[in-house]
A and B are shown apart, each in its own frame.
Chain A
């Protein structure tokens, strides 16, 4: 069902994109059937850009990140498509090659720093280890570099905290330590999987600011996985909205927020209470719940929850799987059968007044 016509990664001034994911599929065979966690995902990213991947739980955001890191190698998962990083295909790379890539070229920040950090080793040891695996340096140099990195991510008294264990750090500081560990080898690509979900808003603001600063400094590309469109608006340059393992809308952040076109994106925007608008008496939730990834709905994945499927003649929404097609601009792509003009009209007349 994937499309050979999937648009080639957008043109850019730099030439070939730094990271290019093409028609990525990650399927898990289970006793109940094949779980299509990611089903034909295409996007690309330039150095210095932050890409946000938004979606609800089970939409395939985290599985995408794991596939880029090659964490499915050696498991039952069936990974197909290609992930080009700097001219190399990571899907085809061996486990040994991936070990070299992880940490030095791609690094990841996980959601829950307490379970991602080892409780028996000190923060310093764990960060220094990441450095020594990829660089032939003495323990002393590694320590100095670790302390420098801890300082950079804003941990006060970094030299003194080197020998602390993870439980002695607060939540925000642990996340900072994770970021220090991820960035110590100056990776070209940083994947942050819900890096601020477990944190308070004030700490979230600090961490997002830190990720932006480090991006500016290292010119790394960043993939930020989140369920919060506010975080995307604040931080990202590009955004991919995922639903049921597929990208349903993607494009530059400014365009997508100025003119969201996919009914699911409308649903996400409508279900968040917003502080900057007059308070609504009621929120408009998306009815129903996310789809099963084993029995993905026929036609458009979103059709069981979509309020607008009657706007399309016949039963097209329930029978034909829509392609991700360019909309208002070539870089803004939408997966929906409703014609572009009609979507804009629905947005203006029915959606905007309720947002």
Chain B
């Protein structure tokens, strides 16, 4: 699988246009009204200038803490909510100005899978109705009738087609997630935006669903935007990964570079925080603990948005360098081939995952003490 490593550089130069091209998309939510005159406060900048591309058959992972704007990004690019600005091109066509009505035919090619399999399925509808609805809405008449098509999809995702008339409550969490996948898959889309599709599932079931998503991708050439906070799952499923913080992309690159040479201090903190099921490795790994909470997206810090929590800013930089971080906002630019980083002082840290003993040289410990 590692043969796909140089993909991003290569895929940019290939003649095929990306399936999804997102340029500088923002989504601001209006601030709270306050005072007698009903003045609005600062808008909440949930997504603030995000750009990425997704090619056919490719998976882009979108990771970050809750509140970083990854779900809003997913919804904005699939036009479930209207982005404030920026352009979204799908299959070469600019869809950012389209109305919901104009979007409808495109939904056939762009679907979504949601996190919570309990609230994303209508409890009053049978599985047959839920999975069959896309056909009715789009006016698609599959060969052999809707019922047969639905049962075919159900079988493909590992559900028993005889359960066509059952209701969602009769299924377990993992099976419900399969129903959600069947619904997304019904019209053979080109792109599926998966918003935390496995987060609510038990590990053993999670693995079943991840395998299913990969099989479907190979079979139908699907592209995924895979939104998740679990970095191990994202590594498993993604070809490229974007790390988000406070509505911006901190680092975007192919999977292997991100996990082997993470460059942004926030990526470092995220990777070091993922526990690894091996006590020996855990004992020698460095944990980079971030202090404080996520700043408010309506009032982000000046300069680099991450500087208020950046361990590197706090422990390693000189005063003049800090001044630079505080006043000048970095731009997302290529620091290694195919690896774009939003940081003034990026540094590759290959030692974070397995706690490679090679780098037990005097790297200053960034472990802060709880106040």
A203 to B207, CA, bound (A): 24
Contacts of A267 in B (CB 8 A): 204
Most chain A Cβ neighbours within 10 Å, of B231, B273, B278: B278
* A254 to B207 alpha-carbon distance, docked (Å): 25
A208 to B269, CA, bound (A): 15
* B259 adjacent to A275 (CB under 8 Å): yes
B11–chain A nearest beta-carbon distance, Å: 19
Q: Mark B181-205, 1 if CB is under 8 A from A, else 0.
A: 0000000000000000000001111
Chain B interface size range: 35 or more
- The A interface is mostly helix, strand or loop, or mixed, namely helix
Q: Mark A275-303, 1 if CB is under 8 A from B, else 0.
A: 11001111111100110000000000000
Partner of B277, one of A153, A254, A269: A269
Residues B275-291 near A (CB distance < 8 A): 275-282, 287, 289-290
CA distance A239 to B211 in the complex (A): 29
Q: Given A203-B65, A234-B282, are A276 and B354 also a contact pair (CB < 8 Å)?
A: yes
State whether A279 touches B235 (Cβ < 8 A): yes
In the complex, the chain B residue whose C-beta lies closest to that of A197 is: B199
- The answer to whether A351 has its CB under 8 Å from any CB of chain B is no
Inside 8 A of B206's CB, which chain A residues have their CB? 271, 285
Q: Which of A200-233 contact B (CB under 8 A)?
A: 200-206, 208-210, 213, 227-233
Cβ contact of A276, chosen from B2, B233, B276, B289, cutoff 8 A: B276
Interface SS of chain B: helix, strand, loop or mixed?
A: helix
In chain A, positions 220-279 with a C-beta closer than 8 Å to chain B are: 227-235, 253-254, 257-258, 267-276, 279
The interface-forming segment of A41-49, A112-120, A136-144, A168-176 is A168-176
Contact B371 A154 (CB under 8 A): yes
A213-B232 contact given A234-B275, A254-B279, CB 8 Å threshold? no
Contact B278 A275 (CB under 8 A): no
Is B315 at the interface (CB under 8 A from chain A)?
no
CB–CB A273/B235 < 8 A = yes
A276 to B293, CA, bound (A): 28
Partner of A230, one of B259, B275, B280: B275
Residues of chain A touching chain B, judged by Cβ–Cβ distance below 8 Å, are 56-57, 151, 153-154, 156, 170-173, 200-206, 208-210, 213, 227-235, 253-254, 257-258, 267-276, 279-286, 289-290
Interchain Cβ contacts under 8 Å between A and B, 9 examples: A230-B276, A231-B275, A232-B277, A258-B280, A271-B207, A272-B277, A276-B281, A282-B214, A289-B205
Seen from chain B, the residues whose Cβ lies within 8 Å of a Cβ on chain A are 1-2, 65-66, 172-174, 202-208, 210-211, 214, 229-233, 235-236, 255, 259, 269-282, 287, 289-290, 292-294, 353-354, 370-371
Besides A285-B205, A285-B206, 18 more A-B contacts (Cβ < 8 Å) are A151-B371, A170-B294, A172-B293, A201-B230, A201-B274, A202-B269, A209-B289, A229-B277, A233-B276, A233-B279, A234-B276, A258-B280, A267-B204, A273-B207, A273-B232, A273-B233, A286-B207, A289-B174
